[in-house]
Chains A and B, each alone.
Chain A
Amino acid sequence: MADVLTFTDRGIYCPAGDFYIDPWQPVDRALITHGHSDHARPGMGRYLATTGTAPVMRHRLGEITLDTISYGEERQIGDATVSFHPAGHVPGSAQIRVEVKGQVWVVSGDYKTVADGLSEPFEPVKCHAFITECTFGLPIFKWTPQDVLTNQINDWWATNAAAGRTSILGAYALGKAQRLLATVNPDIGPILTHGAIENTNEVLRNQGITLPKTTYATADITAKTHPGALVLATPSALGTTWTRRFGPASTAFASGWMALRGVRRRRAADRGFIVSDHADWDGLNEAIKATGATKVFATHGYTSAFQRWLKEQGYDAHVVSTDYHGESLDNAEEAEA
């Protein structure tokens, strides 16, 4: 039997429907899992994405031919039936289910299994083959429970505010920043945002997502005008002159990589909060199990170790080389909206 999906140097391809999923080279027809720049790239003839992902794609990619689809809605493309299902990664993010002649394959895109209070929660989709990310596919990655995390961040902010310090928190412009906004207690003080984050906030608010009040940190806004503030900045803005006017300040990063002491120290922030929009080790394993798939392809992340682990668990596991980055501390590109 022919494979439902194949792996090409342009991206993940469906021969039966003649379309690509999250391609990294220009193609005629692209199905997009979510709006991060390594998955939704410019230059495609036409795009298909969820209603929740469309606004941010338009914001980032400008004039594009974009068709939208709701979660769970089935669409026939050539000989393939496709549908999109919540991936829990960022608002609007989807796993893409492709069925050809009774064979079902699912592309996970990026996903996490725990609810973040903002994104549509992850839904396992039964399939024969599952193409999974494994950014954090090692047993050293186990995320802090959401309620503990909320307390940690609120405590940090409140302590700083009481000591007359600004709290500067580095987070990706799309997803992480809004998730943190939905988490923190806005009664502690004013919330200021970096331009890239404020732009994304506006896009999400326009599509009906509720976020606490934020103020775009223009040049005249400083620690003096907004004492005790929480400043949300993109990781690339941290440690630059942009943050200087908020001093004295305590800086923090919010990332899954903060689980590692060495990385925390390399970033030289005062605090590291362990929070990721990707699945942790237990999340990956549970998600794969829940699909019932026997065949698993590991894409970006610790692929070779994760493949070997899956094989030992009895899966027909493979590694696929793609051009996705996952959650990278060292590439600023995902942060730029």
Chain B
Amino acid sequence: MKDIATLFTRIDESTKTTVKTAALADYFQTADPGDRLWTIALFTGRRPKRTITATRLREWAAEVAGLPDWLFEESYSIVGDLAETIALVLPPAEHDDDQSLTYWIDNIKRLSTLDEDDRKAGILRAWNSLPTTQRFLFTKLLTGGFRIGVSAKLITRALAQATGQPEAQLTHKLMGNWTPDTATWESLIEADDPTADLSRPYPFYLAYQLDSLDDLGPPADWNAERKWDGIRGQLIIRGGEHHLWSRGEDLMTDRFPELAQLKDYLPDGTVIDGEVLAYADEKPMSFNALQKRIGRKTVPKKLLTEAPVILMAYDLLEYEGKDIRDAPLKDRRNRLKTLVNQTPDTSPIRLSDTVPFTTWEDLAKAREQSREIGAEGLMLKRLDSPYLSGRKRGDWWKWKIDPLTIDAVMIYAQAGHGRRANLFTDYTFAVRSGNDLVPFTKAYSGLTDAEFREITAWVRKNTLQKFGPVRQVPPTHVFEIAFEGIQASPRHKSGVALRFPRMARWRKDKPVDEANTLDDLKEMLATYG
């Protein structure tokens, strides 16, 4: 565990990518192969099954530290990370067992076979034999998430440095369904068979927001489609089975059982990039409908009829078992079209239609219709572009519609946690209604650090009342709130709920009596809801 603690410290201390990559590459060359594989697994979101609830961990940590539960919770709310809170409040360890990462992970796995008293004894023993950083990492393993500022891209780059293999090849090897229990360092990294795993997806190609149409060249070089507002997904049909992957490398196959029939209509060796959409009467339903499907592992029948999904097909990555990502988009789309057209009309797949245009002005007009037809904007793809991996400039652009905006008054502020501990960053906003202010949304992003510092100093001096962590402040500051959609919501006092609200600008020039009103908000609901 010392190796990984050193690696973690080196990565965590630095803000420079080169330093992080070098630290990882060192580790991949020197650490125990079993530990290396676990490290890759952890950094790419594969973790041992949870064997203990967070509630128990909190209780036990508070007990060992001699703290009442409420004080532990108060500390946790400031730190913002359970494992870190536990590592900080516990008394110093009395032993120092230098065991491998794999040893501790096996230890964690074994916990599931023990009764609660023995589990507790095991965890307390671990806490008492690990120095602070190792203790933090061990507890992180117990609690799940292991995000520590290392992207999959960084891992691949470091692995490429350590093994001499090309990055693209490693990226593909690391995707898919493997775990350190089903793979070894040798089979996953060293072996030369990237198709060993039938469920393995291709890395997604992502686009940047378009800055300007000026550099795009002739319109005839481009294919335009709607940018749909669902969940990006990759459908894989191989070996008579189907898998559906999200962009975050989550396997979503079971969440959308209606897509299972596609394996009957599409040939083996087909991989399609598309958007999962809630879809009825040949048009997308609101994102809210899809939201009900997200996060459900099993889907009740009622929901299947209320919010049925389809795959809106964008691109074809694998055809007849062959990787065709290097073929031009035009060819890939033609093949995709043929495949989709072969399926019955009732099957849950549609081709994402081309938006016809001859001039950029035509396209700009088409973009204006996005909101009406439930799209987020347009996608522009060069007709001869290959399917690249990751976010790249040049061949693909997203051209989103401008967000809706409203000027609102800040009425409450709350301190953030984690990176934002000690700064007031979470605000509640209101619109005017006669002489009253009606709260309608919260937002906590969009300002610069300097602006957050300025507001924090102001909140400290101008608190009217405290409600636990929330400070009521005098209605003084007006902010432009940008958002992507608006929905009626009986749960909110204002009657509306916003999608992706954030602060677009601090309107220092605007007095409170020029902020928007509840009527303005209702009008937006009527127009766009």
Contacts and interface: CB of A to CB of B under 8 A. Distances in A.
Interface in B81-117: 81, 84-85, 88-89
B13 A262 contact: no
B51 interface: no
Interface string B11-38: 0111110000000000000000000000
A77 B456 CA distance: 39
Interface string B422-464: 1100000000000000000000000001000100110000000
Contacts of A10: none
A225 interface: no
Contacts of A328: 422
A138 B78 contact: yes
Question: B-side binding surface: helix, strand, loop or mixed?
Answer: helix
A264 B11 CA distance: 13
Contacts of A261: 12, 79, 81, 84, 418
A262 B80 contact: yes
Interface string A247-271: 0000000000101111111101111
A312 interface: yes
A49 to B, nearest CB: 26
A305 interface: yes
Contacts of B422: 257, 263, 328-330
B322 interface: no
A266 B15 CA distance: 10
A140 B68 contact: no
Contacts of B75: 138-140
Given A266-B419, A270-B13, A138 B81 contact: no
A262 B74 contact: no
Interface string A304-337: 1100110010000000000000001111000000
B457 A268 contact: no
Nearest to B67: A139
Interface residues of B, number: 33
Given A257-B422, A268-B15, A305-B74, A262 B89 contact: no
A262 B79 CA distance: 7
A336 to B, nearest CB: 14
A259 B457 CA distance: 22
Given A142-B88, A305-B71, A312-B68, A263 B453 contact: no
A65 B423 CA distance: 37
A139 B74 CA distance: 10
B417 interface: yes
A262 B70 contact: no
B421 interface: yes
Nearest to A257: B422
B418 to A, nearest CB: 4
Contact of B81 (A262, A269, A309): A262
B149 interface: yes
A271 B13 CA distance: 6
Nearest to A321: B463
B355 interface: no
Nearest to B424: A330
A330 B457 contact: yes
B420 interface: yes
A208 B14 CA distance: 39
Contacts of B70: 308
A269 B419 CA distance: 13
B149 A265 contact: yes
A138 B68 CA distance: 12
Contacts of A305: 71, 74
| Of A139, A142, A308, A328, most B-chain CB atoms within 10 Å | A139
B65 interface: yes
Contacts of A271: 13
Contacts of B466: 304
B65 A262 contact: no
Contacts of A140: 75, 78-79, 85, 88-89
Given A138-B75, A139-B67, A305-B74, A260 B453 contact: no
Nearest to B72: A139
A262 B68 contact: no
Interface in A247-299: 257, 259-266, 268-271
B417 A138 contact: no
Interface in A74-113: none
A262 B421 contact: yes
A260 B79 contact: yes
Contacts of A141: 88
B90 to A, nearest CB: 10
Nearest to B76: A140
Nearest to B466: A304
B149 A139 contact: no
B423 A265 contact: no
A80 to B, nearest CB: 31
A314 B81 CA distance: 30
B74 A263 contact: no
A330 B79 contact: no
A144 B29 CA distance: 33
A262 B71 contact: no
B65 A139 contact: yes
Interface string B46-88: 0000000000000000000101101100110011110011001
A138 B73 CA distance: 11
Contacts of A268: 15
Given A139-B65, A140-B89, A312-B68, A262 B420 contact: yes
B251 to A, nearest CB: 30
| Of A140, A142, A259, A304, most B-chain CB atoms within 10 Å | A140
A263 B65 contact: no
B418 A309 contact: no
B419 to A, nearest CB: 4
Contacts of A142: 88
Contacts of A304: 466
Given A138-B74, A138-B78, A262 B417 contact: yes
Contacts of B453: 330-331
A309 B457 CA distance: 27
Interface string B119-161: 0000000000000000000000000000001000000000000
A24 to B, nearest CB: 11
Contacts of B457: 330-331
Nearest to B450: A330
Interface in B456-477: 456-457, 466
Interface of B: 12-16, 65, 67-68, 70-71, 74-75, 78-81, 84-85, 88-89, 149, 417-423, 449, 453, 456-457, 466
22 contacts: A138-B71, A140-B79, A140-B85, A140-B88, A141-B88, A142-B88, A257-B421, A259-B88, A260-B84, A261-B81, A261-B84, A262-B80, A262-B421, A265-B149, A269-B15, A270-B13, A270-B14, A270-B16, A302-B78, A304-B466, A308-B70, A331-B457
Q: Which 5 pairs across A and B sit closest by C-beta, in order of nearness? A: A262-B418, A262-B419, A140-B88, A266-B419, A305-B74
